[in-house]
Copies of this chain bind each other. A is one copy, B any other.
């Protein structure tokens, strides 16, 4: 399977990186991460070119990684700095190094052509820098499922009534219409309003609504790998609109998708909320509340992956609520084609 290479992917929260050698697989490639003595995150191909031992089995010496088999040593730019037993370091002694960008306690790695690693392309959300909103980083979710299946789920306001009936959905929403569009930046937005209905389980737990609420769900997918679910509720008496939604109980649930390989995905989620800004306990509460829902998604997404690997001659059924997911997948296909054609041109140019 092909992945989009020229993109920033989340490697982890800042607190996951230290002076320990930490191995990770992203887009099928093994990478060893560590912090330099100055605190920057470094990322190297996790395979010594000599006997193929993963460098993560070796040790950190200053800012360099020494292979655990014969001591061949690489700097954080990937260049070899020492080959024990000889004075000359051959030119072919190097490992790939990966561009890294760190902001808002999030560490991103660029998986594609190094020349294209533009920091201006890293996803940002103004509310992450706003004093009116507070962030909470959740636990990484490990799915045995392709990232496209996980992304489908994050372009899909309809599934919550059936998959998450006690937390994020309720029967009142089952047949409500859904809007989907792709904007000029290639962002897929799928939305639904549920007016004058009881609050769903999570908002009953987090807020103190006394009667029916208006509820919005905007699933905003920045292709390929960042889903923002902009959702919230307000008392019906407020007659809330999208523009005034900061007046309601408002949450951005951000999901950063990182494909491990064709069949596994890590979904790192965080919340940015406009309430209980100083409540230190709320993070744990939100973990507990949302992990109920995420466990429900996990069963679904992994069962689907198993089925996708079984032979079938039948074309899948497509229905009205799929529009967001269809826009997303079409955009992915376009980006992969684009990337492939650019590579072809580069190959031609260098020949």
Q: Are A319 and B83 in contact (CB under 8 A)?
A: yes
B67 touches A314 (CB 8 A): no
Among A47, A161, A162: residue with most chain B CB under 10 A: A162
Contact across chains for A319 and B152 when beta carbons are under 8 A apart: no
Please give the distance in Å from A282's CB to the nearest CB on chain B.
30
The verdict on A118 contacting chain B, using a C-beta distance below 8 Å, is: no
Are B70 and A158 in contact, CB atoms less than 8 angstroms apart? yes
* Chain B residues in 8 Å Cβ range of A321: 70, 84-86
The answer to whether A320 and B85 touch across the interface, beta carbons within 8 angstroms, is yes
Chain B proximity mask over A156-188: 1 for CB below 8 Å, otherwise 0: 001101110000000000111110000000000
Contact A159 B70 (CB under 8 A): yes
Contact across chains for B304 and A52 when beta carbons are under 8 A apart: yes
In the assembled complex, A57 has its CB within 8 A of some CB on chain B: yes
The yes or no answer to A71 lying at the interface (CB within 8 A) is yes
Q: Mark A285-319, 1 if CB is under 8 A from B, else 0.
A: 00000000000000110011001101010111111
Alpha-carbon separation in the docked complex, A249 to B84 (Å)? 28
Q: Please give, as numbers and ranges, the residues of chain B lying within 8 Å of A174 by CB-CB distance.
A: 71, 84-85
Residues of B contacting A314 with CB < 8 Å? 49
Partner of A49, one of B51, B158, B300, B316: B316
* B57 engages A300 (CB within 8 Å): yes
Nearest Cβ on chain B to A73's Cβ, whole angstroms: 10
Q: Considering only CB atoms, which chain B residue lies closest to A59 in the complex?
A: B162
- Contact partner, A316, options B51, B163, B303, Cβ 8 Å: B51
Tell me whether chain A's interface is mostly helix, strand or loop, or mixed: loop
A175 to B317 Cα, complex, angstroms: 61
In the complex the two chains form, what is the Cα distance from A48 to B308 in whole Å?
12
- Tell me the bound Cα distance from A304 to B52 in angstroms: 6
Is there a chain B Cβ closer than 8 Å to A123's Cβ?
A: no
Which residue of the partner chain, among B162, B310, B322, contacts A67 with CB atoms under 8 Å? B162
Q: Does A198 contact B (CB under 8 A)?
A: no
Find chain B residues with CB under 8 A from A312 CB: 47, 52
A306 to chain B, nearest CB (A): 8
A93: CB under 8 A from chain B?
Answer: yes
Report yes or no: A71 in contact with B300, Cβ–Cβ below 8 A: no
In chain A, positions 130-169 with a C-beta closer than 8 Å to chain B are 152, 158-159, 161-163
Indicate if the CB atoms of B72 and A308 lie closer than 8 Å: no
**Chain B min CB distance to A124 (Å):** 32
Which residues of the partner chain B approach A307 to less than 8 Å between Cβ atoms?
47, 52-54
Residues from chain B with Cβ under 8 Å of A83 in the complex: 319-320
Q: Which residues of B contact A68 (CB under 8 A)?
A: 162-163, 300
A346 within 8 Å of B (CB atoms): no
Is the CB–CB distance between B316 and A50 below 8 Å? yes
> In the complex the two chains form, is B84's CB within 8 Å of A158's CB?
yes
A264 CA to B208 CA, complexed, in Å: 55
Contact indicator B162/A71 (Cβ below 8 Å): yes
Most buried by B among A85, A314, A315: A85
**Which residues of A are at the interface with B, using a C-beta cutoff of 8 A?**
30, 47-54, 57, 66-72, 83-86, 90, 92-93, 152, 158-159, 161-163, 174-178, 299-300, 303-304, 307-308, 310, 312, 314-322
